[in-house]
Amino acid sequence: MRIAVSACLLGVACRYDSRSKPHSGVLRMIEGHDVLPICPEVAGGLSIPHPACEIVSGHNPDAGEGRLAVTDAEGIDQTEAFSRGAQVTLDAVREFEAELAILKAKSPSCGTGLVYDGTFSGTLVNGWGVAARALHAAGIPCIDEEQAEAAFPHASSIGG
């Protein structure tokens, strides 16, 4: 199986805070599979580190609320970088012919169902990260590390 995986889940220090979030369950699940590490924020040109970013509440296209907007904790609009990163990521995942994407939960790029609301208060709302939204719209199944762990709690790998 060909799987795209958020690079931070693989141990790459590419998050906004220069850290990684290696996930032992994901690392076990991908053993024996072809893996494409992805980081839409780096692909979009954001530096590491950079201020935390969130999708602005009230601008959630999934909820029919206008255009997508992403701002950082300093109030700077980062929508263009996130959109560019999503497109570069989608192109790479298509070229790789990934059958699945395992993405970082709650991320403004990679969140799959829950993202922070744009107030930088830790409040979660229903929604998809910018890259996850693009992958999902292109028909690529997307799950986050929490969903993967729940679906395959004892599996050493997924697929065939």
Report yes or no: 135 and 129 within 8 Å, Cβ to Cβ: no
| Every domain of the chain and the residues it spans | 2-151
**Taking residues 6-24, what's their average pLDDT?**
96
For residue 19, give the 3-state DSSP assignment: coil
Question: Model confidence over 135-151: pLDDT tens digits?
Answer: 999 999 999 998 888 77
**Taking residues 73-85, what's their average pLDDT?**
96
Report yes or no: 129 and 107 within 8 Å, Cβ to Cβ: yes
